[in-house]
Structure 1
Amino acid sequence: MGEAIERFFATLPARAPAVLRNPIHGTLQVDLTRENRTEHWFVELSPGSVRVLREQLPADATFTVSMDLFERLVTGRAAGMAAVLRNEATFSGNVALFLLFRRFFPDPPSARDPRETARAHLGRSG
């Protein structure tokens, strides 16, 4: 397993207060596949906190993705929703949990806040 993936899961509890402000509670099983092997991560989400275990447990939702793609997700080189829509990853269960979990993925390095782009455009034209 890649260092970026390990670091991603290790930092979730510290990042949770800033990311998880919705009153949603639930559990998410993240299954990372590579060839004929699957690594399991169990993530318990609640407002302002996350608990992460390296186990396969019953969950409210399951996100299944290749390790390679997940590494691209956690480094901002791919987008979670786009991966699901392209069927490169699968999701089942409570969709709100996936929408909440994907907030932990960083934006692509070239991403810009649309408000900044609009302000820059208005500054040039005004």
Structure 2
Amino acid sequence: MTEATQQFFATLPARAPEVLRGPAMGTLRIDLTEGHRTEHWLVRMRPGVAEVGQGAEPGDATWYCSVDLFDRLATGRAQAIATTFRNESTFRGDVVLFLAFRRFFPSAPGTRDPREVAREHARWTR
């Protein structure tokens, strides 16, 4: 497992109050594969709370991806939904958990909120 992935999972509980505002409740199991080895992460989510652990227990949903891909997601170099559309990762179970979890990933480096860009543009045109 990469340092970025370890750090990502370590920060989830502290970031949960700002990220998990909706009604998502349940356990997402994340299976990270590298060669013939699989790491199992469990993220138990409820509004404002995320508990992280490791184990192969079943979850309400399971997301499968490679260690390398997850590293790119954790550093903002890939987007979770796009990777599932391209079949680089797969998912089964309660899709609400996946949609809630993806909000923990950072935006791509250099990405700016379009509302802030519009505000700046409005200041320039005055």
State the TM-score bracket (shorter-chain normalisation): over 0.9
**CA offsets 1:5-39 (integer angstroms, 9 cap, x no match):** 11111111111111111122111000001111111
Say whether residues 1:79 and 2:83 are aligned partners: no
Greater shift in the superposed pair: 14-23 or 61-70: 14-23
Runs of 4+, deviation exceeding 2 Å: 119-126
Matched with 2:105 is 105
Q: Which runs of 5+ in 1 are unaligned?
A: none
Matches within 5 A, 1:14-53: 14-53=14-53
AA aligned opposite 2:27: T
RMSD: 1.1
Following superposition, the deviation at residue 50 of structure 1 comes to 1.0
The whole-number CA distance in structure 2 between the counterparts of 1:43 and 1:83 is 20
CA distance in 2 between counterparts of 1:52 and 1:40 reads 11
In 2: Cα distance, 1:30 partner to 1:93 partner: 12
Unaligned runs of 5+ in 2: none
TM-score (norm 2): 0.94
Partners of 1:34 and 1:58 lie apart in 2 by: 20
Instruction: Point out the more displaced range, 97-106 or 10-19.
Output: 10-19
C-alpha separation in 1, matches of 2:115 and 2:6: 33
Distance 2:120 2:18 in 1: 28
Aligned amino acid, residue 104 of structure 1 = F
1:97 alignment partner, SS class: helix
Matched residues, percent identical? 57
- For residues 125 and 53 of structure 1, what CA distance do their matches in structure 2 show? 51
Once the 2 structures are TM-superposed, how far is the Cα of residue 53 of structure 1 from its aligned partner? 1.1
SS of corresponding position for 1:5: helix
Secondary structure of 1:109's aligned partner:
coil
Per the alignment, in what secondary structure is the counterpart of residue 24 of structure 1?
coil
